Chain A
Amino acid sequence: MTLVFKQETFRDDYRYSNSPSGIKRFPFPFAEDQYMYSVNIEPHGKGKQGSVNEFAFDVDEHYVAECIDKGITLEQDPGRYESLPHMMDAQWDFLELTMESHAQDYPDHFTLKKNGLNWNWENKPLGIKDSFVFGDCSTLPMDPFEYMGRQVQGDFVLLDQRDETLYADAGFITSQADWSLAFNIGMSWKEWHGPVPRVTELGVMDRALKYLMNLQLGSPVRRLNWTMTINPRLDTSPENYPFWGGDRNKVNKENVSDLVHLRVELQALFRLPRSNGIVFVIRCYLINLKEIATYPRWSKRLHRVLKGLHPDLIEYKGLTKFHPLAVDWLSKFDDGATIELGTQPE
């Protein structure tokens, strides 16, 4: 399958949109009219052809633009990539997993040739061609995790498993929904989930941790998470809050459907072989309300979910300023008819 990559920007002039096929394959997260946290984890198996779950790592029309945006963010703030010294085995695991998946699933765009430990990697869309020795950091231009982190869509956290919990001991984070790697690095599971409202009471985090501690090699899992972002901006980091936080005050009745984006994270977790660590992949998909309204089923559903959202969640997800405007705009599509269970567009 040969993909066509769009020329886009995720900052300044925000030249970004989804093609009709991009809209149709968007991972819409709401199967029901109500939303509440749950351990919505499922096997990350091969999904339907053309869907975002078809392959372990989804490459889409935004690939090149997103990798360029990662480079800009890292150049301005090198602290978005960090790895503690004991994570080197996990770094090579990450490189192997991402190179093998991309080469196998997108052979027109990526090639990996192995001769023992001598590996040749070619990334045609980004014009990268390198030979290196697997396991020998001195043969790559940078750490193996940063090297592939720059060439794969999404954010990545490498988790070390010890003391009956998981520690976020390395990260490549350039498209985060308002959380900071510099603040979270080295934290345990309970520490980094501390701020999430209403989940401790539900026991969700304890159960999810138990499940992930037993995550098996060869059996990755995934879940969807979501929030909303003004403008198609990947880098909504606390570090750069001055560049995007104020945009929430610019939303009005006229521009709400262009500016307000549903931000869906396809989160996948893979057990890593050599390190016994886990890579947590957070892949961000952006779509504005106007694009969502292509499919009445989605606009109706989103209207009901937002209208009924618990006030704690409205606050935690940072929607307070524009929530009423979004609900109001979406209300005109909602005739009140029952929608069957499911996330499909039609």
Chain B
Amino acid sequence: MSTIDVKVSAIEQVTPLVKHFTFVKEDGTVFPAFSGGSHVVISLNIGGRIHRNPYSLMGSPEDTSAYHISVRRQERSRGGSVYMHENVTVGMPFKITYPVNLFSLAKKARKHILIAGGIGITPFMSQIADLERLGADYELHYAFRAPEHGAFAERLKKTCGNKLHCYVDSLGERLDLSVLMGNQPLGTHLYVCGPNPMVVSVFEVARNFGWPENHIHSEQFLAPPIGEPFKIQLARSKKEILVPAEMSMLEAIEAAGVEADFLCRGGACGRCELQILETDGALLHNDHFLTDAEKASGKKIMPCVSRAKCERLLLDI
């Protein structure tokens, strides 16, 4: 996989929980341009273990002098975001992947409705730059907990003007999805990024109103969940490994020195899919990629986020 060598050029505390990081290239050249909604995967070496976390690119896709990401501190996580908040300083080098877009704008849409919850605002920052440049018809609906948590609300006001609608929970402001989604022209596409209950309600409301499925877009990166340890066997590389509680299957496979394919590491893209040859237990699918039928068949698993409860799980790798 192609990576880019970068270093941190600036860090800014945007809200009590969100830090903004600016990266420039180590060799001083410009980055590739990218499309609104793209993310990069950053490699973090935390105590000798490699964490790879995906973050949305926040800057304007046309500004190739720097890449920007924002990280929300997640206390009950495996440490990636805490490391970014506490250990990363200006000048530190990192490897990031080339931009990948799993949340791109529908170019043929007549109108775009963007719904963000909290830190879910990040992929929309670059999408808005694209929508403004293309002169597209759009609305941004941005819900957050309290005024001090509205990261980037001021900046967005300047860019979006009256296309921005903010909903501050502590002030009792609520986004009424039925009102919003019940009255849109044909050809409207809707994009949602935020906490899981928000994404689920958007899909529910959309289904009730008969929106076409392919007009609703969501991006949810899952952090690999912490679970029970379990054992896996690798058929081609002839290895047996233990997947510890706080490590993903993909990370355990990599730590054992076996090269595995991956892209988003968040259960969304499907690149790391592995074939299951045998198992004696239950699969715990956590990804958004496999269909329900595929999950039920027990033939495939996404090792980036899924786990198992077993003694034996023979994988074709």
Contact = CB atoms under 8 A, between A and B. Distances in A.
B187 to A, nearest CB: 12
A217 B32 contact: yes
Contacts of A164: 214
B270 A274 contact: no
Given A163-B214, A214-B271, A273 B1 contact: no
Interface string B241-284: 00000000000000000000001000001110000000000000
A113 interface: no
Interface stretch (B48-56, B101-109, B170-178, B220-228): B101-109
B33 interface: yes
Given A214-B263, A217-B34, A161 B1 contact: no
Contact of A276 (B1, B2, B101): B101
A193 interface: no
A218 B108 contact: no
Given A210-B270, A273-B33, A273-B99, A216 B263 contact: yes
Interface string B71-85: 000000000000000
Nearest to B106: A162
Nearest to B108: A86
A275 interface: yes
Interface string B27-55: 00000111101100000000000000000
B107 A86 contact: yes
Contact of A219 (B2, B34, B37, B270): B2
A160 interface: yes
B271 A219 contact: no
Interface string A240-274: 00000000000000000000000000000000011
Interface in B122-149: none
A218 B1 CA distance: 9
A216 B2 contact: yes
Contacts of B214: 162-164
Contacts of A160: 107
Given A86-B108, A163-B214, A218 B33 contact: no
A87 B98 CA distance: 22
Contacts of A210: 270
Interface string A68-96: 00000000000000000011010001001
Nearest to A275: B35
B313 interface: no
Contacts of A162: 104, 106-108, 214
Given A162-B107, A214-B271, A217-B99, 4 more contacts: A96-B33, A160-B107, A162-B214, A275-B107
14 contacts: A86-B107, A87-B107, A96-B33, A160-B107, A214-B269, A214-B270, A216-B98, A217-B32, A217-B100, A218-B32, A273-B35, A274-B35, A275-B35, A276-B104
Interface of A: 86-87, 89, 93, 96, 160-164, 210, 214, 216-219, 273-276
Interface of B: 1-2, 32-35, 37-38, 61, 97-101, 104, 106-108, 214, 263, 269-271
